[in-house]
């Protein structure tokens, strides 16, 4: 991307009403306006263009990004660190096992103690239905109170790095990959995307990716199909969001229990395993009651349930049903690759290998999406500041 293109993107950013992102959190995509979503995409593209042109994006001279991961992570953890570093923020992981949280410290106290010089707090809490997003909001409330009471000199922004409801950084990265692949957001109307369940030899995968996909991609006039075996439903509230978005954008949202039907004539496919909503709710209840025997029993039941649907695999035959047999294959990674990472899994090895480079490119958008969320939340006049950064053209690498 040349500097002429970067200037054009900045001009487009200046024309949007994204003021609502300033000093605000990014927890669910459907809480943001169309202009705010578009601004996030534009800033991500601008930051990427600046870095490609060896221009420093360090708009912070100091400051801290705090990360709290309550589930394992590779891509999102490194993406958050990369985003903070790109903007000039240092990163500190909060390890709950090594903190006073393990000794019963309250959310209010922890939130304030880690926030004295923090500009952003990134949280991943995706394992327990009804808990993750609620926890993020309790942290947001605590730092808001600390700032209002004069304890904190600034109120740090919270970024949802995946919760039980949505995975906004992943789905926004996926969407930006799609936008670039098809030549712009205005080219997506009528494109068909199959968000499909796929078999996995493990259980308990979060629902936040499929929910995030149907909650975001229905905003672009796309025909979004949610496919899964009976019994693998997602949250009905999120399906309602998807239906409203589709009606407003001129697209559609539908459901099917037939993977082949979902793939037929699809422009994009996203085969990904997830656990049934009802089972994840049970899991939360068992853990809350300390019922480990109940957890073991549920795990056994879910593994058996999964095993009954091994035919839900993204194969070459299914891919041949897509539009011209050339649909864009997406996955948030890591995928369960049949014959490679597991005996039987989500995707055939030949399909995965054929799309390996596009998958890596898909993942590469996430650091820039996170950086854009931080930038827009912390900087009042983003277009003016990005113009200054471009004109100053301080080299990133000397």
> Under CATH, what is the fold of the domain 169-363?
Rossmann fold (3.40.50)
| Nearest Cα residue to 265 out of 235, 301, 225 | 225
- Stretch 49-53: mean pLDDT, rounded? 98
Strands 223-227 and 90-93: unpaired
- Residue 224 has a pLDDT of 98
* pLDDT the model gives residue 96: 76
Q: Does domain 3-166+366-392 have CATH number 3.40.50.1370?
A: yes
Please tell me the predicted confidence (pLDDT) of residue 239.
98
In the numeric block, the tokens 């601004």 are attached to: 39
Residues 6 or more apart whose CB falls under 8 angstroms from that of 25 comprise 136, 140, 157, 158, 159, 160, 377
Mention every residue, 6+ apart, whose C-beta is less than 8 A from residue 205. 272, 273, 274, 275
Task: Indicate if the pLDDT at residue 4 is higher than 80.
Answer: yes
Q: What is the pLDDT of residues 117-128, one digit of tens each?
A: 999 999 999 989
Please tell me the distance from the alpha carbon of residue 393 to that of residue 52, in angstroms, as a whole number: 12
- Confidence at residue 105, expressed as pLDDT on a 0 to 100 scale: 77
Maximum CA pair distance of the chain? 62
Residue 43: pLDDT band (50, 70, 90) is: very high
The CA distance from 370 to 173, in Å, is 9
**pLDDT of 242 higher than 90:** yes
Q: Does position 71 have pLDDT exceeding 60, yes or no?
A: yes
From residue 290, how far is each of 96, 114, 278, 372 by CA, in Å? 19, 29, 19, 40
pLDDT at 115 over 80: yes
Predicted pLDDT of residue 245: 98
Q: Which of 24-33, 107-116, 192-201, 216-225 shows the lowest per-residue confidence on average (mean pLDDT)?
A: 107-116
Give start-end residues of each CATH 3.40.50.1370 domain in the chain.
3-166+366-392, 169-363
pLDDT exceeds 70 at position 56: yes
Residue 62 backbone dihedrals phi, psi, to 5 degrees: -160, 175
Q: Determine the pLDDT at residue 100.
A: 58
pLDDT of residue 102: 54
What pLDDT score was predicted for residue 93?
A: 93
Of 239, 259, 240, 269, nearest to 330 (Cα)? 269
Mean pLDDT of the 35-53 span: 98
Average pLDDT score over the chain: 96
pLDDT at 204: 81
**List of residues 6+ apart from 80 with CB closer than 8 A:** 65, 67, 91, 122, 159, 161, 367, 370
Rounded average pLDDT over 157-176: 98
Residue 98 clears pLDDT 80, i.e. is over it:
no
Q: What local confidence, expressed as pLDDT, does residue 104 receive?
A: 64
Position with higher pLDDT, 95 vs 2 = 2
pLDDT for position 398: 84
103 pLDDT higher than 60:
no
Q: 224 has which bridge partners? A: 193, 253
| DSSP bridge partners of 67 | 93, 122
- Is the peptide bond between 334 and the residue preceding it cis, with omega within 30 degrees of 0? yes
Each residue's pLDDT tens digit, 244-284:
999 999 999 999 999 999 999 999 999 999 999 999 999 99
Which pLDDT does position 95 carry in this prediction? 81
């Amino acid at each position: 991307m040349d500097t002429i293109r970067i200037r054009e993107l900045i001009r487009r950013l200046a024309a949007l009403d994204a003021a609502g992102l300033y000093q605000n959190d990014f927890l669910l995509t459907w809480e943001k306006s169309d202009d705010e979503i578009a601004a996030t995409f534009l800033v991500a593209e601008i930051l990427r263009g600046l870095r490609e042109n060896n221009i420093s994006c360090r708009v912070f001279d100091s400051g801290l990004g705090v990360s709290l991961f309550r589930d394992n992570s590779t891509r999102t953890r490194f993406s958050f660190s990369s985003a903070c570093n790109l903007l000039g923020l240092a990163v500190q992981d909060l390890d709950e096992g090594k903190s006073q949280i393990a000794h019963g410290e309250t959310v209010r106290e922890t939130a304030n103690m880690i926030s004295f010089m923090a500009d952003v707090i990134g949280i991943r809490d995706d394992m327990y239905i009804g808990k993750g997003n609620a926890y993020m909001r309790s942290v947001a409330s605590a730092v808001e109170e600390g700032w209002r009471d004069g304890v904190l000199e600034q109120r740090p922004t919270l970024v949802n790095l995946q919760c039980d409801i949505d995975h906004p950084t992943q789905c926004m990265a996926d969407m930006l990959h799609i936008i670039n692949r098809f030549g712009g957001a205005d080219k997506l109307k009528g494109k068909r995307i199959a968000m499909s369940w796929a078999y996995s030899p493990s259980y308990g995968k979060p629902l936040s990716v499929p929910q995030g996909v149907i909650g975001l991609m229905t905003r672009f006039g796309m025909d979004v199909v949610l496919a899964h075996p009976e019994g693998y439903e997602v949250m009905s509230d999120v399906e309602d969001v998807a239906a409203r978005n589709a009606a407003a954008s001129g697209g559609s949202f539908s459901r099917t229990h037939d993977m082949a039907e979902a793939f037929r004539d699809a422009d994009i496919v996203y085969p990904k395993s997830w656990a049934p909503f009802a089972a994840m709710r049970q899991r939360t209840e068992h853990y809350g009651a300390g019922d480990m025997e109940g957890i073991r029993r549920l795990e056994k039941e879910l593994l058996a349930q999964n095993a009954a649907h091994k035919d839900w695999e993204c194969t070459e035959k299914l891919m041949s049903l897509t539009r011209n047999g050339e649909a864009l294959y997406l996955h948030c990674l890591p995928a369960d690759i049949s014959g490679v990472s597991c005996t039987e899994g989500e995707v055939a090895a030949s399909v995965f290998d054929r799309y390996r480079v596009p998958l890596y490119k898909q993942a590469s958008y996430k650091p820039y999406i996170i950086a854009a969320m931080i930038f827009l939340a912390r900087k009042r006049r983003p277009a003016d500041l990005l113009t200054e950064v471009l004109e100053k053209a301080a080299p990133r690498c000397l």
